[in-house]
Amino acid sequence: MSDRTSLHVSDPARKARFREIARDILAKDRRDRKIGFAVDTGGAIARALERAYREGFAGAHRTDEPTAVEAGGESKILQWGMIPPRPRRAFWSICLFVHGQQANDNHHGYLVPAKTEKDTPGWQLIIPSWPKLRDKVIGDKTIRPLIRLGLLEKAAEHAEQLVISKRGTDTWRQFCAQGGQFPDDLRNL
């Protein structure tokens, strides 16, 4: 007879959902405190823990495997909620300008090394057809996870430039096909 507790398998999609819930709780707490509203952060955390317990308990009694999410590989589409929050916002902006909201445009955009306002390393989005877009620089620490996840890659023609990879384009297309209403779609992970 095997012990169920030793068969613990982590579900990355469930973890991502709970991270989003935790961020929402903290953001609501900060916002309400700033405005002067009464806060019930303890109650919100208790409800989230109860929900996590129920989902974890139900997941432990299922026989199917959790959702597999891999960070490597060209053809595998990454689930939108698996991208960390700050890089996810940056990736959303990059894809929106390069591929459009319907995911069928290609404005041949790319990122080039630049300095941020704080004089730290960063990346600037260049869209040749939109020269006025060049005022925003995205920090290097925000872009690095997108490279690590395979959503951005070095351009074939110019090694100092980054472009959206095939995996990044496929991830964006899937996100748009599922509604593409960031950040609202994160509630339905």
Same domain, 88 and 37: no
* pLDDT, greater one: 10 or 45: 45
Peptide bond into 183 cis (omega under 30): yes
Instruction: Answer whether residue 70 is part of any domain.
Output: no
Instruction: Output the pTM of the full model.
Output: 0.65
How many domains does the chain fold into?
A: 2
Residue 63: band (very low, low, confident or very high) from pLDDT cuts 50, 70, 90: low
Please tell me the predicted confidence (pLDDT) of residue 151: 92
The residue-averaged pLDDT of 5-23 equals 68
Please tell me the predicted confidence (pLDDT) of residue 132: 66
Same domain, 182 and 99: yes
What residue ranges in 127-176 does DSSP mark as E strands? 137-139, 152-154, 162-164
The residue-averaged pLDDT of 99-120 equals 82
Please tell me the predicted confidence (pLDDT) of residue 56: 75
* Pair 92, 138: CB distance under 8 Å: no
With a cut of 70, say whether residue 2 has pLDDT above it.
no
Give the range of the structural domain holding residue 9, as residue numbers without chain letter. Answer: 4-60
